[in-house]
A and B are shown apart, each in its own frame.
Chain A
């Protein structure tokens, strides 16, 4: 069986082999990602339900475990309504532009030391670039809908994402300075040696700011003014229905997982174990990365269940007048510490 397969495989030209392998790798990343998105929505409804002293969805399938499947099936069979005054081309391209970067950024995420789709030496820049491109989907969707609410939502998102992008970028500069590399694998390897050697400790302000900016980047509560259902209905995606809406939904949740993964990689040692040196549990493995991602995703949901939405000017003030100055100051601190080999963690 395997011999037969191998003989067929060897007939295939080398360039095609490479293509097929890459495609398989992409599927191996995107399929579990989509599944986690589905179950992240379920987890969100359950956790927020529990915090509000309700039980959350528990009817579809055992304990409600088939709820996300039911939701997906429902959305697939719904009609995609395109408003009369909408720009049809941009209206359709909007959700595609929103989800493409959310998926593409996973190419450089290292799952462990060897499992990386593309071991790019400027992975950090690639991630920064792609997470910024995500905003175009939202702006285009909001503009193409030809609706006031959608347009307001798009404007807010644009301003907000651009503001927080800066703080986020600065926070990553701190990581870059501390690790001396733009490659995500090397950034993780630079944090080797247990929980106290991870970057969250020396870069603590940057860590907090990065994660909060990440929440703002993904338009999640308490920074969800772009959706703001209480004032502008659903913001940029009011006019979307069916699968087109579902794509935005997928993009938002894929972005959440991405931000959680990036935070884990940049500041919490990626796949490294917090108990380095201890036998068995001290081994670096994919499990640790998944555990860290789950923890940060839980924080996303916890924030949403806890905080009321920021007012628009408060968001802007927080971004420009608090986060950016703090990050700049801390980059200086980190820079000095690295140059003069100051504290014990920059050895």
Chain B
């Protein structure tokens, strides 16, 4: 009997309305994106970069471990022996459409050459530009070296 009165007088519905009315005045969680951005971890996995040593020598030694570990087969590497006898890549390409940003390449790299940066706001305007060439990867690395290095140092104790 009580149950019928309860539903007849819409008691639970009124309780629901009261709840939502309280939410109406709560502080909003929305981050207004271009003006404000969500905080990022130093482990953030965004756009790829190839790093250089401080003397300007590129780190990558064409060991192809990243190519082997890549679950999406997004990395293509061709290696050559340079004139000074060291092994280097002649081609290092990442297909960003295939990449799943798992970070395995970075983990597998013995010389910390391929890294994932914090950059996540990028786009392509031409067909084919989704394939990151070695030059473009190195360029990103050079441009953001300070940030990349700082993030690696911060994460170093946990590696």
A: residues with CB less than 8 A from B are 47, 50-55, 58, 208, 302-303, 305-307, 322
Q: Tell me, in angstroms, the Cα distance from A307 to B26 when the chains sit together.
A: 19
Other A-B contacts than A53-B30, A58-B32, A306-B17, 16 sampled, CB-CB below 8 A, are: A47-B24, A50-B28, A51-B20, A51-B21, A52-B23, A53-B26, A53-B29, A54-B29, A55-B30, A55-B32, A302-B17, A303-B17, A305-B20, A306-B13, A306-B16, A306-B19
Q: Which residues of B contact A52 (CB under 8 A)?
A: 23
Residues of A within 8 A of B19 (CB): 306
Instruction: Determine how close the nearest CB of chain A comes to the CB of B84; give it in whole angstroms.
Output: 56
User: Provided the pairs A302-B17, A306-B16, A307-B13 are in contact, do residues A50 and B24 lie with their beta carbons within 8 angstroms?
Assistant: yes
User: Is A51 within 8 A of B24, CB to CB?
Assistant: yes
- Residues of chain B at interface, number, CB under 8 A: 17
Return chain A residues, CB-CB under 8 Å to B13. 306-307
User: With a CB–CB cut-off of 8 A, which chain B residues contact A53?
Assistant: 23, 26-30
With a cutoff of 8 Å between Cβ atoms, the chain A residues found around residue B32 in the complex are 55, 58
Closest Cβ neighbor of A55 among chain B residues: B30
CA–CA, A52 and B24, complex, Å:
7
Q: B residues within 8 A CB of A305? A: 20
| Distance A303 CA – B29 CA, assembled complex (angstroms) | 22
Contacts of A50 in B (CB 8 A): 23-25, 28
Residue of B nearest to A58 (CB): B32
Write out the residue numbers on chain B whose beta carbons fall within 8 Å of the beta carbon of A208. Answer: 10
CB distance from B18 to the nearest CB of A (A): 9
State whether A307 and B16 are in contact (beta carbons under 8 Å apart), knowing that A51-B23, A52-B23 are contacts in the complex: yes
Q: Report the nearest A residue to B20, measured CB to CB.
A: A306
- Give the 6 A-B residue pairs with the shortest CB-CB distance, closest first: A55-B30, A306-B20, A51-B20, A55-B28, A306-B16, A51-B23
Nearest-neighbor residue (CB-CB) of A205 within chain B: B8
CB distance from A75 to the nearest CB of B (A): 26
Q: Which residues of A contact B27 (CB under 8 A)?
A: 53
Q: Which residues of chain A are within 8 angstroms of B16 by Cβ–Cβ distance?
A: 306-307
The answer to whether A302 touches B20, judged by C-beta atoms less than 8 angstroms apart, is yes
Chain A residue with Cβ nearest B19: A306
CB distance from A328 to the nearest CB of B (A): 15
Residues of B close to A47: CB separation below 8 A: 24
- In Å, the complex CA distance between A208 and B10 comes to 10
Interface residues of B in 94-110 (CB under 8 A from A): none
Whole-angstrom distance between the alpha carbons of A281 and B21 in the complex?
A: 28
Chain A residue nearest to B28 in the complex (CB): A55
- What are 25 A-B contacts with C-beta separation under 8 Å? A50-B24, A50-B25, A50-B28, A51-B20, A51-B21, A51-B23, A51-B24, A52-B23, A53-B23, A53-B29, A53-B30, A54-B28, A54-B29, A54-B30, A55-B28, A55-B30, A55-B32, A208-B10, A302-B17, A305-B20, A306-B13, A306-B16, A306-B17, A306-B20, A322-B8
From B20, B25, B28, B29, name the one whose CB has the most chain A CB atoms within 10 angstroms.
Answer: B20
Given A307-B13, A307-B16, decide whether A302 and B21 contact each other with a Cβ distance below 8 A. yes
